[in-house]
Amino acid sequence: MRKRTPATAAKPAARQPTGEAPDRSPNPAAPVRIRRAAVSDIPQITELDERVTRIAKPDYWRDVFYRYGSRRQEERFFLVAEHDQGAPAAPLLGFIVGEVRAWEFGSEPCGWVFAFSVDPKARQQYIGERLFGAISEMFRAAGIRTMRTMVARDNQLHLAFFRSEGMMAGHYIQLEKELD
Ligand SMILES: CC(C)(COP(=O)(O)OP(=O)(O)OC[C@H]1O[C@@H](n2cnc3c(N)ncnc32)[C@H](O)[C@@H]1OP(=O)(O)O)[C@@H](O)C(=O)NCCC(=O)NCCS
């Protein structure tokens, strides 16, 4: 398997911008900080998610924060990325949410990532990788050795990202049925 720089480490500015493509090199003038989400982040998280998914879900995000951002924090991780400007109201650049799930369908405890977004204006600057690396470290510290997520099979962006982080098809498949 291809060896990768750990996502928690700062990467060298290896990627060169070409044409109209965004500048993918890390910007040392605007370092990114990863931290746990706070209740005051909910409006920005809701707004970012609405921009990405085109569906406003304020109740959902309040509930996700209550369940994953404020309880059982040793196994539930709701992280945000922000410009590390030292300002109290630095804009959010992205978020990731996951939890330890144990013994679902006989599966040993694993780390599930079930929500993940980077601001479209801040993509391809390794912020997604930083968030993914941070939650991976938290799962590892919780004793977890396997991470899982779910992607739409035709979503090339999600597949490219998770594949680049070393995730591959697992040995479970998802089944579904339309209910009348
Ligand atoms: C997937 C996502 C989180 C990636 O975030 P990002 O900060 O732009 O990604 P990174 O800069 O950390 O990229 C890491 C790697 O992912 C892959 N990747 C990222 N963007 C890519 C793109 N547009 N095309 C191809 N590969 C890409 C690359 O392999 C990249 O590393 P490399 O360029 O060194 O090979 C972001 O695109 C996103 O938020 N997408 C929408 C997610 C969504 O739909 N959320 C709502 C439902 S939960």
CATH of the domain at 135: 3.40.630.30
91 lies in some domain: yes
* 30-58 burial code (b ≥16 CB/10 A, e <16): eebebeebeeebbebbbebbeeeeeeeee
106 lies in some domain: yes
Q: Are 130 and 119 in contact (CB under 8 A)?
A: no
Q: Are 122 and 32 in contact (CB under 8 A)?
A: no
- Please tell me the predicted confidence (pLDDT) of residue 84: 83
20 lies in some domain: no
Which pLDDT tens digit goes with each residue over 45-96? Answer: 999 999 999 999 999 999 999 999 999 999 999 999 999 875 666 789 999 9
- Please tell me the predicted confidence (pLDDT) of residue 124: 96
Q: How far apart are the first and last CA of the chain?
A: 45
Of 19 and 115, the one with more pLDDT: 115
22 vs 18: CA distance, rounded Å: 8
List the residue whose alpha carbon is closest to atom 40 of ligand 1. 117
> Which atom of ligand 1 is nearest the CA belonging to 118?
39
7 lies in some domain: no
Residue to probe by mutation, ligand 1, list 124, 135, 136, most atoms within 8 Å of CB: 124
Q: Report phi then psi at 105, rounded to 5.
A: 50, 35
Which residue range is the domain that position 78 belongs to?
32-164
Distance 105 CA to ligand 1 centre (A): 30
63 lies in some domain: yes
Task: Count other C-beta atoms under 10 Å from residue 126's C-beta.
Answer: 20
Distance 90 CA to ligand 1 centre (A): 22
Which pLDDT tens digit goes with each residue over 121-169? Answer: 999 999 999 999 999 999 999 999 999 999 999 999 999 999 999 999 9
pLDDT band at 3 (very low <50, low <70, confident <90, very high): very low
Number of domains, the chain: 1
